[in-house]
């Protein structure tokens, strides 16, 4: 009868989930590798135009002439 009591305890200990081997830093790096195209797209298509429009807001800009810095006078 004592074996019946010990069996559930042994099963409970064997069901403890452990992370897979090698899921430490290498798993985090591969995540960044897969996210890199998204970060590049964010920089090129969102942050780049935002920064350029901020620059143009401080200039006197015409399509036919180079932008001239006017600062806060604009």
Decide if 43 contacts 27 (C-beta within 8 A): no
Dihedrals phi, psi of 69, to nearest 5 degrees: -70, 125
Each residue's pLDDT tens digit, 6-50:
555 565 566 777 666 655 666 678 889 999 999 999 999 999 999
Structure tokens at 8: 């559930």
Q: Which is more confident, 29 or 54?
A: 54
């Amino acid at each position: 009868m004592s074996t019946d009591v010990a069996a559930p305890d042994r099963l409970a200990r064997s069901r403890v989930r452990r992370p897979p081997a090698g899921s430490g830093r290498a798993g985090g790096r591969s995540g960044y590798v897969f996210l890199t195209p998204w970060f590049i797209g964010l920089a090129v298509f969102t942050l780049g135009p935002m920064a350029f429009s901020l620059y143009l807001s401080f200039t006197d800009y015409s399509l036919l002439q180079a932008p001239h810095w006017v600062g806060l006078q604009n």
